[in-house]
Structure 1
Amino acid sequence: MLGFHLTQPLRAAGFALCAVVGLTACGSDTQEIELSKVTGDFLKQASGKLTSKVGKGKSDAKAATGQSAAPADPNVLVAKALAATDGPIAIVVRLDTNAVLAMNPVGRNGDHVTWGSAPGQGITYNRGVMTNTRGLGEDLMSSRIDAAVSAITSRNDADYTRVHYYLGDLGQTTELRLNCALRRSGTEKVVVGDIDEAAVILKETCRKDEISFTNIYWVDGKGRVLKSSQWVGQRIGSLAIQNLRL
């Protein structure tokens, strides 16, 4: 397990997000924070192309009631999340359950930075590329992804192997070795929170027999991953990660 502790700014950021978006379940003992409608509105605008599940649908509330709805301004949500801490902050969404978390860095070991949530989940990144998770369920326990990190942060097309490690049902370590292809897929300016940067969009397609997934990264000229959709494992699926401040 990760040996990080939750700092007061991290707890403040998590609880501020709960207060701002009106989440249905929130608190230090909550394992998953359910995505409310207002958070969905925020993610539709902030996460952009992270997932085709997040579209541009309009609410039927106005038509049903004949009154103008008052949706939350995503810029206000972002501003309040940023105000909760002086440091980096990101919104992380588990796409299979629509659970959303505010996360901050809580530990560093060289290029490996661990981000934590107020409820206690953790994700470690190597220069913005996920290396392991904790507290999400069937976690990615560790990985060997140096070639992926190098290609993604240098924004180059490449072919390489990823190796993921999970815990089996009997507590044994299981290995998943995947063949991956990284390809550039256009450019986009990422403007959200304190981020205003031009980015190259990179799509990473990985496969092992019947298992396959695609990760997407928006990487700026400094090699920073501004936002991404990254796969954890077969049961959890992908996480959408939107940085508000780096």
Structure 2
Amino acid sequence: MLGFHLTKPLRAAGFALCAVAGLVACGSNTQETEMSNVALDVLKQTTSKLTSKIGGGKSNAGAAPAAAADPGALIAKALAATDGPIAIVVRLDTKAVLAMNPVGTNGDHVTWGSAPGQGITYNRGVMTNTRGLGDDLMSSRIDDAVAAITSRSDAEYTRFHYYLGDLGQTTELRLNCTLRRGETEKVTLGEIDEDAVILKETCRWDQIAFSNVYWVDDAGRVLKSSQWVGQRIGSLAIQNLRL
């Protein structure tokens, strides 16, 4: 079990998990509302791109209403209201949006989350576990995946994911994965303005199959991504505004 050092509590970003239709109203204060508006516009701009890179899902035009203000201004306000990293996370199946920032670290592992307790832990930008999302990814063994993704190299490896079964037992999902390097693309949003290589990770075990996509810069940082949690939650689109 990883022991995390907790950093200062979330201030501006909070952790908003709301239906898209109610995003603007879900913030408990002005800063959270600003982040929710930003999240809504990011959803409109980036989810279709992420989905097209994954190769699945139909576009749902009209699912997200127009943002109430200029997205650049909203992002600027959100960044000005916080001291550290900020990310927008979109659950692709429900279009629910989370505004997150870091709450704990343990070496290369960083947990992003909120005071209420929901969170996502990453190893150098690659998801290792989740909490408070429902059917969580409890833990994983993905060192080979992390090494290949952050070095932006073609590779084949095995992932091990661990979930809680219906009776509370731990179940293991062993996935055979292939990582392929693609084109280079500029990632520009918030304070992120970097060229990144797009890497597509395809994993399969029996009838279970999914694809993850990562935009990784020269320093090996994952600037944005789409990462699979599990069969019931599906994939999360993760867009950093500041690292």
TM-score after normalising by structure 1: 0.82
> What is the letter of the counterpart of residue 235 of structure 1?
R
Q: Find the residue that maps to 2:93 and give its secondary structure.
A: coil
Q: What is the aligned partner in structure 1 of residue 242 from structure 2?
A: 245
Aligned residues of 1:157 and 1:183 also touching (Cα < 8 A) = yes
Distance in 1 between the 2:170 and 2:192 partners? 39
Partner of 1:51: 51
In the TM superposition, what are the counterparts of 1:54-65 in structure 2 within 5 Å?
A: none
After superposition, give the CA deviation of every residue in 1:25-62 in whole Å (9 maximum; x if it has no partner). Answer: 3459xxxx9x9887433322255622246969589x9x
CA deviation profile, 1:44-89 (whole Å, cap 9, x unmatched): 2255622246969589x9xxxxxxx884211122112212211011
Q: Secondary structure at the match of 2:171?
A: strand
- C-alpha separation in 2, matches of 1:27 and 1:186: 41
State the distance in 2 between where 1:162 and 1:120 align.
26
Aligned to 2:118: 121
Query: Once superposed, what is the RMSD of the aligned Cα atoms?
Result: 3.2
Q: Which residue type is aligned with residue 166 of structure 1?
A: Y
Q: Relative to structure 1, is the Cα distance of residues 227 and 196 closer, same or farther in structure 2, using a 3 angstrom cutoff?
A: same
- CA distance in 1 between partners of 2:164 and 2:6 (Å): 24
Residue of 76, 80, 101 corresponding to 1:79: 76
Bigger CA radius of gyration: 1
**Are 1:145 and 1:163, in contact at CA under 8 Å, matched by a contact in 2?**
yes
> What amino acid is aligned across from residue 43 of structure 1 in structure 2?
L
Q: Which residue of structure 2 aligns with residue 168 of structure 1?
A: 165
Aligned partners of 2:5 and 2:105 also within 8 Å: no
Q: 1:126 and 1:242 mapped to 2: Cα distance? A: 16
**In the alignment, is the contact (CA less than 8 A) between 1:27 and 1:118 conserved in 2?**
no
| Aligned: 1:205 with 2:205 | no
Q: Please list, as runs of the form range in 1=range in 2, the aligned pairs for 1:184-203 lying within 5 A after superposition.
A: 184-203=181-200
Q: 2:234 is matched by which residue type in structure 1?
A: G
| Deviation larger for 166-175 or 110-119 | 110-119
- Aligned pairs for 1:98-137 (under 5 A) are 98-137=95-134
Match for residue 155 of structure 1 among 152, 157, 163 = 152
Deviation at 1:117, TM superposition (A): 2.8
**Structure 1 portions without partners, runs of 5+:** 62-68
AA matched with 1:231:
W
Task: Provide the C-alpha distance between the structure 2 equivalents of 1:116 and 1:218, rounded to a whole number of angstroms.
Answer: 22
Percent sequence identity over matched residues?
75
Seen in structure 2, the aligned counterparts of structure 1 residues 54 and 26 have a Cα distance that, compared at 3 Å, is farther
- In structure 1, the partner of 2:41 is 41
| Count of aligned residue pairs for this structure pair | 230
Q: What is the CA–CA distance in structure 1 between the aligned matches of 2:15 and 2:123, rounded to whole Å?
A: 27
TM-score by length of 2: 0.83
**2:77 aligned counterpart, secondary structure:** helix
- Distance of aligned partners of 1:159 and 1:3 in 2 relative to their CA distance in 1, 3 Å threshold: closer
The aligned amino acid for 2:24 is L
String of CA shifts for 1:84-110, please: whole Å, max 9, x gaps: 211011001111221111111111111
- Indicate conservation of the 8 Å contact 1:44/1:54, yes or no: no
